[in-house]
Amino acid sequence: MKTVRKSAKLNNVLYDVRGPIVDAAKQMEDEGQKIIKLNIGNMAPFGFDAPEEVQQDMIRNLPNSAGYSDSKGIFAARKAVMHYTQQLGIAGVTLDDIYLGNGASELIVMATNALLDDGDELLVPMPDYPLWTAATSLSGGAPVHYRCDEEAGWLPDLDDMRAKITPRTRGIVVINPNNPTGVLYPVELLKGIIQIAREHGLVLLVDEVYDKVLYDGVKFTSMASLSTDVLTLTFNSLSKAYRSCGYRAGWMVLSGPKADARDYIEGLNMLANLKLGSNVPGQWAIQTALGGYQSINDLVKPGGRLCRQRDLAYELITQIPGVTCVKPHAALYMFPRLDPVMYPIADDRQFFMEVLRATRVMLVQGSGFNYPDNQHFRIVFLPHEDDLREAIGRLAGFLATYRQRHSKAA
């Protein structure tokens, strides 16, 4: 038999959040070693449970969940999402503008597939949530990364964004609140991005999955609420705010001048029909989650578990010599930097593979988020405080040894 090779479409697809380091960690676990996982925002393994009323509503509706739903999703869930968009101040959204999916991830892939022809370009932040770059490549498009400036608190550089627009650019991806940096974008910056999209006739694809995971009293503004004349696709899900990653319950909302996008919407409807529909039990959770008690607020307020762990992780990581970090005000992550003089690193994936093998702590290197300087990495601060202390303490010990080796070599 001839060698069976993967499609060339996958040559530029990278998802190191679940990549070679994860594979190595699994092998170590199979050998009986205990790994502390600071690599992925999966809530349940760390004791963050979905709200009980959401679980109960899914259970009650299981008898009604054996058949396919409408390809866009069940009525009750879509209506709840529509009401939520009204609370956010997004104008003109109807039930027909709402698509439910197996998490926001499936809908991101669907939206890029419907939008991009071979060689079309999509502006994607750098660093990014790597699914966006992967989905763009898989759709035949070319991801073009615009700079987010660490010295400006990881805010997008609008001049860099403008400079990277070409005749083939179709849209701009915005991740707010941001994964992996934990930054929340101010309204004036969002308006600046909207103006760029307006001037160039671009679609906005806005990932707002962490819109309720906010610290220090910061206020979130949905980007789609700031314009009615720019086509905007807003993505969200139950995964993080409602600790329901495994339910795979996400949604996509179209707003703006939909009459000008009839052909694109036809493509979205075609792809929605092809997938038949998303996970029905998870859809039943949406109405109860959005309309019920918002227990995420208890976790992110001062003294709440997520807030305490954010503060602890930030304190510990910035105490390590040569490690700096922009303090996150949202989401579940921070994106520290290793001083390149103290920590010269030629290959960050190999470096964090060494960290794993030496410390049994799993992290994701910055290049896994399409940030190419070999000096950054993402920390997930979901583990309990004792585990965070242990993990970051082990990392600090590894870095101390690395510094000593480097100074001897110098």
Please say whether the beta carbons of 180 and 378 come within 8 A: yes
Does residue 276 sit in the same domain as residue 190? Answer: yes
Q: Is residue 222 part of a domain?
A: yes
At 211, give phi and psi (nearest 5°): -65, -20
| Banded pLDDT at 410 (limits 50, 70, 90) | very low
Tokens of 67: 């058949």
Q: Is residue 1 part of a domain?
A: no
Does residue 13 sit in the same domain as residue 86? Answer: no
Does residue 308 sit in the same domain as residue 179? Answer: no
* Rounded mean pLDDT, 300-308: 97
For residue 364, the domain's CATH number is 3.90.1150.10
Does residue 180 sit in the same domain as residue 204? Answer: yes
3-state helix, strand, coil in the chain (%, to 5): 45, 15, 40
| Banded pLDDT at 408 (limits 50, 70, 90) | very low
Does residue 358 sit in the same domain as residue 286? Answer: no
Please say whether the beta carbons of 97 and 253 come within 8 A: yes
Mean per-residue pLDDT over the chain, rounded: 94
For residue 277, pLDDT beyond 90: no
- Domain range holding 134? 52-294
Q: Is residue 235 part of a domain?
A: yes
Does residue 115 sit in the same domain as residue 15? Answer: no
pLDDT digits (tens, 9 = 90+) for 317-371: 999 999 999 999 999 999 999 999 999 999 999 999 999 999 999 999 999 999 9
Task: Give the rounded distance of the alpha carbon of 107 from its chain centre.
Answer: 13
Q: Is the dihedral of CA 73, 74, 79, 84 positive or negative?
A: negative
* Nearest-10 crossing angle of helices 280-291, 52-61: 140
Does residue 238 sit in the same domain as residue 146? Answer: yes
Predicted confidence at residue 409, as pLDDT, reads 45
pTM across the whole model:
0.94
Does residue 155 sit in the same domain as residue 185? Answer: yes
At 174, give phi and psi (nearest 5°): -125, 130
Token pair 């960050």: residue = 348
pLDDT digits (tens, 9 = 90+) for 27-51: 999 999 999 999 888 999 999 999 9
Token pair 């608190």: residue = 153
Q: What percent of the chain has pLDDT over 70?
A: 98
Does residue 42 sit in the same domain as residue 66? Answer: no
Does residue 303 sit in the same domain as residue 358? Answer: yes
Tokens of 385: 């405080």
CB neighbour class for 311 (10 Å; exposed up to 12, middle 13-18, buried from 19)? middle
pLDDT digits (tens, 9 = 90+) for 57-109: 999 999 989 998 999 999 999 999 999 999 999 999 999 999 999 999 999 99
Token pair 């101040």: residue = 89
Q: Is residue 3 part of a domain?
A: no
Tokens of 181: 């940096």
Please count the structural domains in the chain: 2
Token pair 């954010």: residue = 310
Say how many Å lie between the first and final Cα of the chain, rounded: 53
Residues facing 237 on adjacent strands: 250
Last residue of a domain, one of 294, 317, 345: 294
Q: For the residues of 169-238, what is the DSSP string, one character each?
A: EEEEEEESS-TTT-----HHHHHHHHHHHHHHTPEEEEE-TTTT-B-TT-----GGGG-SSS-EEEEEES
* Nearest-10 crossing angle of helices 103-115, 130-138: 40
Last residue of a domain, one of 294, 315, 344: 294
pLDDT digits (tens, 9 = 90+) for 188-205: 999 999 999 999 999 999
Whole-angstrom Cα distance, residue 197 to residue 199? 6
Tokens of 63: 């008898």
- Could you tell me which residues come within 8 angstroms of residue 295 by beta carbon, excluding any fewer than 6 positions away? 51
Does residue 314 sit in the same domain as residue 196? Answer: no
Q: Is residue 2 part of a domain?
A: no
Does residue 287 sit in the same domain as residue 316? Answer: no
For residue 372, pLDDT beyond 90: no
Last residue of a domain, one of 294, 313, 340: 294
Whole-angstrom Cα distance, residue 351 to residue 293? 43
- Could you tell me which residues come within 8 angstroms of residue 55 by beta carbon, excluding any fewer than 6 positions away? 285
Exposure b/e, 65-96, CB count within 10 A at least 16 = b: eeeebebbbbeebbbbbbebbeebebeebeee
Please say whether the beta carbons of 338 and 375 come within 8 A: yes
For residue 221, the domain's CATH number is 3.40.640.10
